[in-house]
Each structure stands twice: as structure tokens, then as C-alpha cells.
Amino acid sequence: MDERTSAVREYFRNAFRWRGGRQQSGYDKMLLVQSRYPLPFDVYLLRFAEGSGIPPHTDPVAAGRHYRCNIVLKRAKKGGEFLCSTPIFATERIKLFRPDACEHSVSRVERGTRYVLSIGWVRHSRASDHPSSA
């Protein structure tokens, strides 16, 4: 099985299924789309039920710069606020930030459910795109 076939199988094994979020804090994520080439990116639907949230953290990447645009589709009735120390752009519903460079979190959802469309990508510098053969 070649690498592309393996990646496609992995995608269909994970896509369109609710999974526990990485921070083990009660939120769920559903992979909608992902690609490794030409620009590594992913798109998730995030669900924050009552009692869930995300503690302050960063998301390091091995190389490049990680960007994420979160679009709040449905706000919780109480709580569930996104907090980021240095967003690139932020409105009430749209949050663009660098998760690898900016500590971010989501306050605990106290009432209702919060849904977010989360689009992330990693931009590599030209030097890291074409490493030298030293």
C-alpha cells in the first residue's frame, strides 16, 4: 500500500466521527477535511458541551508557522469564551491566531452548547520547504 492510499484510508477512518479533543477537557471534534499537500491544513467541527472548556496552552509544530481561524457557529448560552493573548484578528465570531505562538484557551461552558468551525494550516518558510543536502 502506498503512502497516498494509506493517507486516504486514515482520513476515512477518522472523518465525520465525533472524537474526544486533544486537551482531554470534555470538548469533541469532528474531522471534515484535511490535506498534506500542497499546504498542510485541516478543518474540524468542534463541539463544547456544558462543563467543557480548554485550559491555556500552545500547539507547537515541528516546522513552519501554524495558523488557525475559528468561526463560532453557535455560542453557548453562558461561558465558552475563546481567550488568546495575541490574536491576529478577532471579532465576536471570528478568531484568527497562531496556536503555536499564542497561548489560548476556552472558558468552561456553563450553559448550552458551543459549536465552532476550525480551519488550520501550517505555512513553511521557503528554506524549510527545500532543505539543503548538507
Q: Is residue 8 part of a domain?
A: no
Q: Is residue 131 part of a domain?
A: no
pTM attached to this predicted model: 0.85
Q: Share the mean pLDDT of the chain.
A: 90
pLDDT at residue 39, rounded to an integer: 87
pLDDT at residue 90, rounded to an integer: 96
Q: Is residue 12 part of a domain?
A: no
Q: Is residue 62 part of a domain?
A: yes
Q: How confident is the model at residue 124 (pLDDT cuts 50, 70, 90)?
A: confident
Q: Is residue 61 part of a domain?
A: yes
Q: Which residues of 4-35 are buried (b: 16+ CB within 10 A; e: fewer)?
A: eeeeeeeeeeeeeeeeebebebbbbbebeebe
Residues 92-101: pLDDT tens digits? Answer: 999 999 999 9
The answer for residues whose C-beta is within 8 angstroms of residue 114's C-beta and 6 or more apart is 46, 47, 48, 72, 74, 75, 76, 80, 106
Residue 23: which domain range? 18-126
Q: Is residue 116 part of a domain?
A: yes
Q: How confident is the model at residue 1 (pLDDT cuts 50, 70, 90)?
A: low
Residues 20-60: pLDDT tens digits? Answer: 987 778 899 999 999 988 889 999 999 999 999 999 999 99
Q: How confident is the model at residue 126 (pLDDT cuts 50, 70, 90)?
A: low
CATH number, residue 25: 2.60.120.10
Q: How confident is the model at residue 130 (pLDDT cuts 50, 70, 90)?
A: very low
Res 2 pLDDT > 80: no
Q: Is residue 9 part of a domain?
A: no
What's the total number of domains in the chain? 1
Q: Is residue 114 part of a domain?
A: yes
